[in-house]
Amino acid sequence: ARALADASDWQRQGLGLSVAINVSMDSLRDLDFPERIAAEVRRAAFNPAQLVLELTESRLPPNPVVLLDTLTRLRLKRYALSIDDFGTGYSTLAQLRDIPFDELKIDRGFVQRAHADPARGAILAASLGMARQLGLRTVAEGIEDADDWQHVQRLGCDLVQGYHIARPMPPALDARLALLTRT
């Protein structure tokens, strides 16, 4: 609720920012969860198309059939689904095929120093290429310096997050956040 209220404030200030919220597997097992999210989105007067719900890969069950009903209803409500920390869990590529994800967040372990480490570089490039072929937006986690940022830009990554871009900050907008959203 707090994240949606803050993001709604940003929208009223003219910033078309999306907000990503981590979701627990317990929440996804609750068939009422999509309706509770919808109620919070309405209460915050937030654009549902700008809400991204992040599921951590290591928490995804090997057989997601139980969760598919909830995930499908969330997608029907126009919420984007993101697989977070991709590459660190025990998921299979079948989950990318079977779960209606919109976004692939590549774990920092495959992003940081990928420009200097052939194994990391190969995994990063392959993950980005696979995501493109599946029509998924990509996010590189852990961008801590200009070399990492330039490398993921060359590889065509859509979005980045990390201290090189900005450190965590309070929700009140300042000039730096406004500048970041326009670059």
Provide the pLDDT confidence category of residue 109 given band limits of 50, 70 and 90. Answer: very high
| Distance between CA atoms of residues 164 and 148, nearest Å | 9
Which residues share a beta bridge with 77?
Answer: none
- Looking at residue 11, what is its pLDDT? 87
Residue owning tokens 């200030």: 13
Q: How much is the average pLDDT of 81-93?
A: 76
At 144, is the secondary structure helix, strand, or coil?
coil
* Residues 91 and 60: beta-carbon distance below 8 Å: yes
Mean pLDDT computed over every residue of the chain: 87
| Distance between CA atoms of residues 83 and 53, nearest Å | 9
DSSP string, 58-127: GGS-SSTHHHHHHHHHHHHTT-EEEEEEETSS---HHHHHHS---EEEE-HHHHTTTTT-HHHHHHHHHH
88 has a pLDDT exceeding 80: no
- From first CA to last CA, the distance across the chain in angstroms is 28
| Distance between CA atoms of residues 114 and 57, nearest Å | 21
CA angle 26, 47, 23 (to 5 degrees): 15
Q: How much is the average pLDDT of 120-124?
A: 95
- Looking at residue 173, what is its pLDDT? 58
Residues found in the chain: 183
Which residues share a beta bridge with 104?
Answer: 83, 138
Q: Which residue has the higher pLDDT, 154 or 25?
A: 154
Edge-first strand order for the sheet with 19-22 is 19-22, 51-56, 80-86, 103-106, 137-141, 159-161
